Amino acid sequence: MYMMLGWSKRDFVLKLFSLQVAQTIAVVLLGVLGTYLVLDGFAPSTEVIGYACASIAPAVLVALASVGIAAVPLASVRPVDAIASRYSRRGFYILTAAVYLICLSAIFGGCLYIDQPLAMYRNIIQTRSSWSEYADWCVLRDFRLDDALFTGDPMSLAGDLYTWYAAHEHDEGVFLVRTTYYGGATIQAYLSEGPFPEPFWYVAASPSYLRQIGIEISDADMARAESGTRVYLLPESLDPSQADALKQLLIEARKPRDSNITTAFTENPTYAFSTYDGSQQLFTWSADAEQPVMADNFVIAVITASNMAPFESESLIAAGLENSYIKLSEEGASELLGDEGTIPLGAGPLRARFATVENYIDGLQKSLEELFALFSAVLLILMVTVAVLVACLIDVVNRMRAREIGVKYVLGFGAWDTYRAEILFVDLATMAGVVFCGVLRCNAGMLVGAALLAISNLVILGVVRRRSVGIVLETVSKEQ
């Protein structure tokens, strides 16, 4: 047709694919704008440019792939052959089937990718509920340099944050708490040989936090902790062998090592052990849905600025719900945090920024919801593409076997008898994806696969009903 209009093949290609080119340019511009908005506060750098390119690349590659696939017939079929219908219909059939399988693989691959964020979202919903008592408490969020996000090495800030905590650990509303579950593998990593203690919950906590939750500390233990001795409170229900194994593990886990932060403990490492009533249920500070909200028989480390091991003093920079050691109650935050929720680190422009538990969870939830919205849009596009490809597959078959299909329709054959191979191909390919997702326990993949199975068969039935009469009439007209 384009030859009869006097167009060259180049002009026809430009006309045919001008929309895809315009869409690709729009995607690139939107990607650049989106990157600027998401990374607001970051200085231009190789990492930022790399992030922008990575975010734009999938859309650009999809556009290029679609153009490449659509250009195959133009490159492989001569215009004269196309006018005379001398082209390989079987080739179109194979091309359509191959693109269908590629799109189907992309759908199930995307479902596998999104399954982990879905699990994270479920964890966040549960965390919001289980942490409701501490919704107004603040945890460390990130570090700021002037008005921008600090992108340097956070370890370089550990000393300044330790100094700040040491100056404010006795202030009202300032707490230190971090829990860890020691399972069998973790225990064996610290102890080369038995006896091994049973798995247990461990909490490193400041005296202020222990008083807050009702754990009594003797004056003698308090004095030891303030002087630099590592003080541990073990459940009094432990038998002597378990207690001895625990003591050995705790000493091995918190041995001093080289560090830029010096404490009284690192200069003269000593340990002390006492017992307490471990039957009290304590909050686990866990954001993992598989972990309990409350637990008993904690092993408690009474932590002060003086008896911190390098593991704790250098980990004060850890940010996030579970990782943050420093926590501020509403009262402590109002006294110590600036207008932007920050505290100064040293005399320079560096600051540590805090966020309430509620706001931190809101941020995580919003980020995941934006990811789900983007994924849903891409998934919808791919599912529509698959539906179109199924329709194309049936249309190609109609052209390849027009006479046979016309005769079968006149004789009263149904869709299954006429298009059995195509229906089996579509259903088996989809079922293979569902089974694969089932083996990997991907719920999203199984749900999407079931929906695809229904949509594909409905499309086949719809195309068959719409096109059958036309095939018969076209076949009769050609015979005449």
CA distance 405 to 418: 7
Contact 176, 354 (CB under 8 A): no
CA distance 207 to 175: 8
* Number of domains comprising the chain: 3
CA distance 141 to 352: 8
User: Within a domain: residue 356?
Assistant: no
pLDDT at residue 471 in the model: 57
| 401 shares a domain with 281 | no
Instruction: Locate 22 and state its tokens.
Output: 């315009």
For residue 44, the SS3 value is coil
Instruction: Locate 105 and state its tokens.
Output: 């693989």
| 410 shares a domain with 340 | no
CA distance 107 to 61: 16
Residue with tokens 């002087």: 227
User: Within a domain: residue 458?
Assistant: yes
| 71 shares a domain with 46 | yes
For residue 7, the SS3 value is coil
Sign of CA dihedral 163, 167, 173, 179: positive
User: Within a domain: residue 206?
Assistant: yes
CA distance 215 to 201: 16
pLDDT at residue 40 in the model: 57
What is the DSSP code (8-state) at residue 184? Answer: H
pLDDT at residue 224 in the model: 96
Q: Give the residue from 326, 348, 370 where a domain finishes.
A: 348
Q: Which residue, 267, 318, 305, is CA-closest to 163?
A: 305
Residue with tokens 């432990």: 238
Q: Which residue, 155, 476, 102, 103, is CA-closest to 314?
A: 155
Q: Which residue, 316, 348, 347, 351, is CA-closest to 337?
A: 351
User: Within a domain: residue 355?
Assistant: no
Q: Which residue, 370, 369, 366, is CA-closest to 355?
A: 366
User: Within a domain: residue 402?
Assistant: yes
Q: Which residue, 310, 304, 246, 306, is CA-closest to 273?
A: 246
| 344 shares a domain with 228 | yes
User: Within a domain: residue 44?
Assistant: yes
SS (H, E, C) 123-166: HHHHHHHHCHHHCCCEEEEEEEECCEECCCCHHHHHHHHHHHHH
CA distance 134 to 67: 54
Residue with tokens 């229904």: 454
Q: Which residue, 419, 431, 428, is CA-closest to 459?
A: 419
State which H helix or E strand residue 432 sits in: helix 420-439
For residue 71, the SS3 value is helix
Angle at 289 between CA 288 and CA 294, to 5 degrees: 85
Residue 320, by phi and psi: left (phi above 0), alpha (psi -120 to 50) or beta?
A: left
- pLDDT tens digits, the chain, 480 residues: what are they? 555 555 666 666 666 667 767 767 776 777 677 666 666 555 566 766 666 676 666 667 766 766 666 666 666 656 555 554 555 566 767 877 888 888 888 888 888 888 888 888 888 999 999 999 999 999 999 999 887 888 788 888 899 999 999 999 999 999 999 999 999 999 998 887 878 899 999 999 999 999 999 999 999 999 999 999 999 999 999 999 999 999 999 999 998 888 889 999 999 999 999 999 999 999 999 988 889 999 999 999 999 999 999 999 999 999 999 999 999 999 999 999 988 899 998 877 889 999 999 999 999 898 888 888 878 887 888 888 888 888 888 877 777 766 666 666 666 677 787 778 888 999 999 999 999 999 988 888 899 899 999 999 998 888 877 766 555 555 545 555
Instruction: Locate 46 and state its tokens.
Output: 């190789």
| 301 shares a domain with 205 | yes
| 313 shares a domain with 281 | yes
| 390 shares a domain with 282 | no
Q: Is the pTM of this model over 0.85?
A: no
Q: Is 197 exposed, middle or buried (0-12, 13-18, 19+ CB in 10 A)?
A: buried
CA distance 287 to 294: 12
| 323 shares a domain with 426 | no
What is the DSSP code (8-state) at residue 196? Answer: P
Contact 178, 317 (CB under 8 A): no
State which H helix or E strand residue 276 sits in: strand 271-276
CA distance 23 to 17: 10
For residue 234, the SS3 value is strand
User: Within a domain: residue 174?
Assistant: yes
CA distance 321 to 327: 10
| 281 shares a domain with 176 | yes
For residue 179, the SS3 value is strand
Q: Give the residue from 292, 313, 348 where a domain finishes.
A: 348
**What is the residue type of 48?**
V
Q: Give the pairing type, strands 271-276 and 148-149.
A: unpaired
| 93 shares a domain with 72 | no
| Residue 403 backbone dihedrals phi, psi, to 5 degrees | -65, -45
| 211 shares a domain with 112 | no
Give the residue numbers spanning the domain of 290: 147-348
CA distance 63 to 381: 13
User: Within a domain: residue 429?
Assistant: yes
| 419 shares a domain with 280 | no
